[in-house]
Amino acid sequence: MTFSRTAPVAVFDSGVGGIGVLREVKKLLPHEDLLYFGDDAMAPYGERPTDEVRALVLDHAQRLLRLAKALVLACNTATAAAAQELRQHYPTIPIIGMEPAIKPALKVAPHPRILILATPTTLREAKLRTLLRLHATRAVFYKCPAPELVRLVEEGLADSPEADRYLDRILAPFSGTHRPDAVVLGCTHFPLAKDAILRHFGNDMPLFDGAVGTARELARRLAAENLLNPTEREGAVTLTSSAPHMLPLYHKLFYA
C-alpha cells in the first residue's frame, strides 16, 4: 500500500483527548492535511477490555488508512492495545503511537517520585510495565487510574468543580512524603484538565505529556520515508467523530 505525499495524515483517539496531539502536529507540520477521528460513541476506551479496544482500533484504522499516508494513535490506551498489531498489518505505513512521558520526567530530580495518571487499561498493559522496569532504579513510580477524568473531559467539564472534587479524592494519597516531584499525564485527555490538576498540586508541579514527542516522531518518520507534503500551502484540518454532537467541542478545543 503506497500513498502520494499529498495524502492526509490521520490522527485517531477515543474522543477529544487527541485534539492536543493534533494541535502539536499542526504546529510542527503546517503544510500537512490532517484528518482527525474521535470515537466518542465508544469512549472511554480506558475502561474497556484490551481485546475490545484492539478490535475497535483495528476497525477504525482500516477505514482511515484507505485515505491516509500515516496514522497517529493519539491515545495511550489504543497504542498499548493495538499499535504492534497495526504495524504488522501495515508494515509500509508509518504508525505513530503515544508513550507516557516518563523519560523527561526523570530529569526533574536525582531520584524523583513520579506519579503516572492514566486509564486503567494503560496502567495494566505490558508496554507501561516494561517501561517502568527499565527505569526502576532511577525513580519511585506511583500509579493512579483516573477513568472518571476522561468522562469529565468528554463532557466539557475538564476545568470544573466536578473535576476538582474528583481529583481531590483520587489524589489524596499522594501528599506529604508521597507527594510526587512530577506528574506524567498518561492519557491524551488529561492535558485538557491540567488547570484542575495544578489546582490540586500547585502551579509549581511539573506536568509531562507525550504530545510534542509524538508530533516530532511523526515528522521524523514522514521525512525518513519521503512522505512530507511538498506543497507550501496551509494544510486543511478535518475533524470527525463517531458522535457528531461532539464536533462543537472539537472545534472549540482545536481553534482556541
* pLDDT(130) > 90: yes
Query: Are 137 and 49 within one domain?
Result: no
User: What is the number of structural domains in the chain?
Assistant: 2
Q: What is the pLDDT of residue 1?
A: 57
pLDDT band at 47 (very low <50, low <70, confident <90, very high): confident
Q: What is the pLDDT of residue 2?
A: 59
Query: Are 136 and 160 within one domain?
Result: yes
Q: What is the pLDDT of residue 160?
A: 97
Q: Rounded to an integer, what is the distance from CA 101 to the centroid of its chain?
A: 10
* pLDDT(192) > 60: yes
Query: Are 67 and 128 within one domain?
Result: no
Q: For this structure, is 144 an active site residue?
A: no
Q: What is the pLDDT of residue 126?
A: 86
| Overall average pLDDT of the 52-72 stretch | 97
* Mean confidence (pLDDT) of the chain: 95
Query: Are 85 and 146 within one domain?
Result: no
* pLDDT(65) > 70: yes
Query: Are 17 and 90 within one domain?
Result: yes
Among the residue ranges 62-76, 114-128, 206-220, the one predicted with the least confidence is 114-128
Query: Are 137 and 161 within one domain?
Result: yes
Q: Which of 61, 70, 102, 187 is catalytic?
A: 187
Among the residue ranges 20-29, 120-129, 215-224, 244-253, the one predicted with the least confidence is 120-129
CATH of the domain at 182: 3.40.50.1860
Q: What is the pLDDT of residue 256?
A: 80
| Overall average pLDDT of the 129-152 stretch | 96
Query: Are 32 and 158 within one domain?
Result: no
Full domain range(s) for residue 157:
102-208
Q: Which of 75, 82, 218, 239 is catalytic?
A: 75
Query: Are 191 and 229 within one domain?
Result: no
Looking at 208, 226, 243, the residue that finishes a domain is: 208
Query: Are 122 and 67 within one domain?
Result: no
The pLDDT tens digits for 142-187 are: 999 999 999 999 999 999 999 999 999 999 999 999 999 999 999 9
Q: Does 52 map to a domain?
A: yes
pLDDT band at 125 (very low <50, low <70, confident <90, very high): confident
The pLDDT tens digits for 214-244 are: 999 999 999 999 999 999 999 999 999 999 9
